[in-house]
Structure 1
Amino acid sequence: MTDDNANPDDRTVAALTDVMTVLDSIAQGADAPDLYLVVSGSGSAYLVDTAEGRCECPDDTHRPVECKHRRRVAFAIGERPILEWVNPAALDDQFGLHVNADRRRAVADGGDVRTPSDESKGTGSASGPLAVEADDDPRTKRAKREDIDVSFLTKPGRYEVYSASGRIYEVDVIEKTCSCPDDAARCKHLRRVEIEIRAGLVPRPDGRLPDA
């Protein structure tokens, strides 16, 4: 058996370093906790079934290997510990943010430690509109903690959201939609825009400045 921590293969490296988003709040998996949707940086989406150990991607379907999507899910949900050599700051900012699980990290003594997925990165302040409250749900915590920039795009109510990874999403606060791959009712980007509007940090949906 290959020691991934000492000599990781190409698919394990890709699973840890490629831009991918793992989603558990998907229509297909509403009543199936073992189903996850993995969206790649190119926009391709594949359904991963952890119970059956399979993925819809061509690599997994046509080769006797565990593809990078299945491995990414395993790392994101804490089934497999993130390897020691991986710099946490270099992880994609979507890593594990859309699953209700804590990932694990391998440590030098051969064991592992748990890392809450919503505490891995962020800039949320101890006070003010970005202060994290005890009763905030995971997506609201992420909306407050992460390094997200919001700018007014056009009225009525359209904003551009810049993530820490450099990706740009469009949020419409009137329609309650976002162009990101998270299909939750209100993703972290929409929540961040709503927070900044209420706090007067960005123009209102009608384009008026907060103090107008």
Structure 2
Amino acid sequence: MTSNGAGVDDRTVAALTEVMSVLDSVGRVRDAPGLYLVVSSSGSEYLVDMAEGRCECPDDSHRPSVTCKHRRRVAFVIGERPILEWANQDALDDQFGLHVEAEPTRAVPDGGVAQATAGKDSVPQSSNGPLTVELDDDPRTKRAKREAIDTSFLQKPGRYEVHSASDSVYEVDVLEETCSCPDDASRCKHLRRVDIEIRAGLVPRPDGRLPDV
């Protein structure tokens, strides 16, 4: 965080920086608009009802005058509440918005909001390169292109090692279309990034052969 974050409510800081996963399509929240599951780093799971403004956590239940960190996290993730200007991208939890098909927004100096981007660790964008974000890209594809992800060929057939900006390491199998990351989407951002780099000739093909020159 930057020094501009001084004085900001502790629950807001926690909502932006603590390790939490927000889920919108599993278990109790499957096909339930407005309901989200928030899983903390300790494994505790809380149901958040954004329509009713409620959370199952003790903080929300016992202090009705405040908004708990879980409700705040959901609001940031789904773009209902813009990420504050002082919140640097590298300070955000790496799981931020990973499991929800929504785009966070970021506050800008003139008081408005803008789509949140991957910040200073983003991959530089060219006007026509393979990592250029297109208007019709879905949120995971946008993250696959924007984020500082390092991809390398691991072994045949079609296995790759992916290093994220948070120093997490995942194994992607492009033939089985699987990834060792916790995202349960059919095609996570790591799998999409590897596919993009293969097609662009930036990494060896699944058979281990170097890209055609």
1:95 aligns with 96
Query: Contact 1:151/1:161 (CA < 8 Å) preserved in 2?
Result: yes
Contact 1:39/1:181, CA 8 A, preserved across alignment: no
Normalising by structure 1, report the TM-score: 0.76
Residues 124-145 of structure 1 deviation map (CA, whole Å, 9 limit, x = unaligned)? 4322322233432232222112
Q: Which residues in structure 2 correspond to 1:80-119 (within 5 Å)? A: 80-96=81-97, 98-105=100-107, 112-117=111-116, 119=117
- Alignment of structure 1 residues 1-212 onto 2, 5 Å: 7-26=7-26, 28-41=28-41, 46-57=46-57, 59-60=59-60, 63-64=62-63, 66-96=67-97, 98-105=100-107, 112-117=111-116, 119-121=117-119, 122-123=122-123, 124-211=125-212
Q: Kindly, what percent of the aligned residue pairs are identical?
A: 70
Structure 1, unaligned runs of 5 or more: none
If the length of structure 2 is used for normalisation, what is the TM-score? Answer: 0.75
Distance in structure 1 (CA, Å) of the matches to 2:47 and 2:158:
33
Q: CA deviation at 1:185?
A: 1.6
Question: Partners in 1 of 2:174 and 2:206 — Cα distance?
Answer: 7
* Runs of at least 5 residues in structure 2 that lack an aligned partner in the other structure: none
CA separation in 1, counterparts of 2:39 and 2:170? Answer: 15
Q: What is the identity, as a one-letter code, of the residue corresponding to 2:107?
A: R
Q: Which amino acid aligns with 1:178?
A: C
CA distance in 1, matches of 2:191, 2:89: 26
* 1:15 Cα deviation after fit: 1.0
